[in-house]
Amino acid sequence: MLTIEHHPEGIPEKVVRLSDPESGLHGCIVLHSTRLGPAAGGCRFWHYRDDGELNRDALRLAEGMAMKNAMAGLPLGGGKAVLQVPEGPYDRGEMFRAFGRAIEMLAGEYVTAEDVGTTVADMEQVARSTSHVAGLEPQDGRPGGDPSPWTALGVFKAMEVAVRHRLGRDLADVTVAVQGLGNVGYALCELLHGAGARLVVADTRSEVVARAASNFGAMVVSSASHGGVSEIGQVAADVWAPCALGGALSSQQVDALKAKVVCGAANNQLVDMDVADKIVAKGVLYAPDYLVNAGGIINVAAEYLGWDEAQVVARVNAIPERLEQVLDLSVRESVSPAHAANIVACQLIREGREYRDTKAA
Ligand code: NAI
């Protein structure tokens, strides 16, 4: 059922292939790095064309988790599980219990949680086979459950810093265009509205945009995309907050952008690193996605490691300070904020050092 490829000196450290025809389990777990602690990262359950596409996604996502966890100052490495949605009929509970048994065989080297395509109910099934799982229902007042409000809070606090840095203003004096009013985007709108910001919003679901218009006085624009450029990404706003899918920042989108700050929750916003330089050349401040959206993984880590809510609050409150340091580094080294964040995260992983004293990093 498990085939493990070890890469002793390399990155990723380990690739674990999963195959259990009986339950329908098929996919892989990538342990990108365990230098800072157990490789933590959610489980994606998706339709892939073939194993090649599945493996590439797992490798990319595991690396992203290693960078995010290091930058968030967590004692966790980075990993990811990617599972293929079975073609025929299958028992979902049995499949996730089989996945749990595979995780248990790794004896704590990998910790899973929800990601695209998986739910709290799936993680409850995983938990029947292993304790190395988070994203379960909160119990006895301890952290757990939906991490989105923490993600939104981290993005909000980072946005305050980014707006002050680039525009010298408070959130009460800006217009923010929010793309995607899901769990994170809607909570972010609530915080921004509370701070006095004006809102422009777009979502493919008409009911949530109507709710944002009524509750927050938000202006609504279409979520349609023309030639890779979304309407919400080119409105006359001060800040653009991508909170829908990845890949929001393409070269064409940057050309069309009117906002001076980009700060949102979506993962993998940059289509490639060349776009990061293009954003700088345009005079736009891009707040690195995995730095600002770490609130969710901080809550997940707290659940797994047994921290209380005060620890979650303290660590989410450290996100804006980290952004300031990354922005300072980007000026000092004449690199984009995205490159500066990668420099810091890679250094922490290489040295096996937690980002405790951020000023020393
Ligand atoms: P969600 O699935 O609840 O919300 C996504 C929203 O985007 C939905 O309302 C959907 O209708 C909308 N949407 C999809 N395509 C759109 C388009 N073209 N234009 C406008 N709206 C569109 O997801 P959630 O949890 O709010 O996450 C949002 C983003 O933040 C994702 O990229 C996710 O990977 C990332 N993220 C989420 C975290 C969390 O704690 N939930 C943590 C870190 C990152």
> Are the beta carbons of 174 and 238 closer than 8 angstroms?
yes
With residue 177 as reference, give the H or E element that holds it: strand 175-179
Q: Which residue has the tokens 């945009």?
A: 209
> Are the beta carbons of 262 and 176 closer than 8 angstroms?
no
Single-letter code of the amino acid located at 273: M
Atom of ligand 1 nearest to the CA of 184: 26
Atom of ligand 1 nearest to the CA of 293: 43
> Are the beta carbons of 27 and 84 closer than 8 angstroms?
yes
Find the 116 Cα to ligand 1 centroid distance in Å.
Answer: 10
The band of 360, judged by pLDDT with boundaries at 50, 70 and 90, is: very low
- Choose which residue among 61, 204, 211 to substitute to test ligand 1 binding: the one with the highest number of ligand atoms within 8 A of its C-beta: 204
- Choose which residue among 203, 209, 268 to substitute to test ligand 1 binding: the one with the highest number of ligand atoms within 8 A of its C-beta: 203
The band of 359, judged by pLDDT with boundaries at 50, 70 and 90, is: very low
> Are the beta carbons of 199 and 219 closer than 8 angstroms?
yes
Q: How far does CA 355 lie from the centroid of its chain?
A: 18
Atom of ligand 1 nearest to the CA of 179: 20
CA-proximal residue: ligand 1, atom 23 (nearest): 182
With residue 229 as reference, give the H or E element that holds it: strand 229-230
CA-proximal residue: ligand 1, atom 42 (nearest): 296
Question: pLDDT digits over 130-182, tens only?
Answer: 999 999 988 877 788 888 999 999 999 999 999 999 999 999 999 999 999 99
> Are the beta carbons of 313 and 144 closer than 8 angstroms?
no
pLDDT over threshold 90, residue 116 = no
Strand partners, 15: 5, 30
Find the 239 Cα to ligand 1 centroid distance in Å.
Answer: 18
Query: In the chain, what percentage of residues exceed pLDDT 70?
Result: 98
Predicted local confidence at residue 108, as pLDDT: 97
- Choose which residue among 115, 243, 269, 297 to substitute to test ligand 1 binding: the one with the highest number of ligand atoms within 8 A of its C-beta: 243
Dihedral angle over CA of 247, 250, 256, 257, nearest 10: 60
Distance from the first to the final alpha carbon of the chain: 42
Predicted local confidence at residue 356, as pLDDT: 67
* Angle, vertex CA 193, rays to CA 188 and CA 194, nearest 5: 100
With residue 2 as reference, give the H or E element that holds it: strand 2-6
Task: Say if strands 110-111 and 285-286 run parallel, antiparallel, or are unpaired.
Answer: unpaired
* Active site amino acids: 80
Find the 264 Cα to ligand 1 centroid distance in Å.
Answer: 10
pLDDT over threshold 60, residue 357 = no
Q: What CA–CA distance (Å, rounded) separates 40 from 52?
A: 22
Find the 296 Cα to ligand 1 centroid distance in Å.
Answer: 13
Find the 101 Cα to ligand 1 centroid distance in Å.
Answer: 30
Q: What CA–CA distance (Å, rounded) separates 25 from 93?
A: 11
CA-proximal residue: ligand 1, atom 29 (nearest): 266
Atom of ligand 1 nearest to the CA of 181: 9
Predicted local confidence at residue 361, as pLDDT: 35
Question: pLDDT digits over 258-313, tens only?
Answer: 999 999 999 989 999 999 999 999 999 999 999 999 999 999 999 999 999 999 99
